[in-house]
Amino acid sequence: MEHQLIYVIDFGGQYNQLIARRVRECGVYCEVISYKTPIDKIREAAPMGIIFTGGPNSVYLDTSPTISSEIFSLGVPVLGICYGAQLMAHILGGTVKTADSREYGKTATYYDRSSVLFSKTKGLSDNDISWMSHTDYISSVPDGFTVTAHTDNCPTAAMEDSSRRLYAVQFHPEVNHTEHGTDMIYGFVRDICGCTGDWTMENYAKTAVAQMREKIGGGKVLLALSGGVDSSVAAALLARAVGDQLTCIFVDHGFMRKNEGDEVEAAFAGWGLNFVRVNAKERFLSRLDGVSDPETKRKTIGEEFIRVFEAEAKKIGSVDFLAQGTIYPDVIESGLGDAAVIKSHHNVGGLPDYVDFKEIVEPLRLLFKDEVRALGRELGLSDILVDRQPFPGPGLAIRIIGEITEEKLSVLQDADLIFREEIAKAHLDTDVDQYFAVLTNNRSVGVMGDGRTYDYTLALRAVTTSDFMTADFARLPYELLETVSSRIINEVKNINRIVYDVTTKPPATIEWE
Question: Where are the extended beta strands (E) located within 352-433?
Answer: 359-361
Distance CA 431, CA 413 (A): 23
Q: Residue 463's closest CA among 424, 497, 503, 498? A: 503
Distance CA 190, CA 180 (A): 15
Distance CA 393, CA 382 (A): 21
- The burial of 145, by beta-carbon neighbours within 10 Å (0-12 exposed, 13-18 middle, 19 or more buried), is given as buried
Q: Which of 172, 180, 253, 346 is catalytic?
A: 172
SS3 of residue 160 by DSSP = strand
Distance CA 174, CA 182 (A): 6
25 C-beta neighbours (distance < 10 Å), count: 18
Active site residue 154: no
Active site residue 195: no
Strand partners, 500: 460
Active site residue 26: no
Phi-psi region of 170 (alpha: psi -120 to 50; beta: other; left: phi over 0): alpha
Q: Which of 25, 103, 160, 174 is catalytic?
A: 174
CB 306 within 8 A of CB 340: no
Distance CA 367, CA 364 (A): 5
Q: Which of 26, 30, 82, 195 is catalytic?
A: 82
Q: Residue 38's closest CA among 11, 70, 80? A: 70
Amino acid identity at 124: L
Looking at residue 400, what DSSP letter applies?
B
- Is there a cis peptide before residue 506, judged by omega within 30 degrees of 0? yes
Phi-psi region of 144 (alpha: psi -120 to 50; beta: other; left: phi over 0): left
Looking at residue 426, what DSSP letter applies?
T
Calculate Rg over the CA atoms of the chain: 25
Please list the alpha-helical segments (H only) found in 50-125.
83-91, 116-119
Distance CA 205, CA 323 (A): 16
Q: Which residues are part of the catalytic machinery?
A: 82, 172, 174
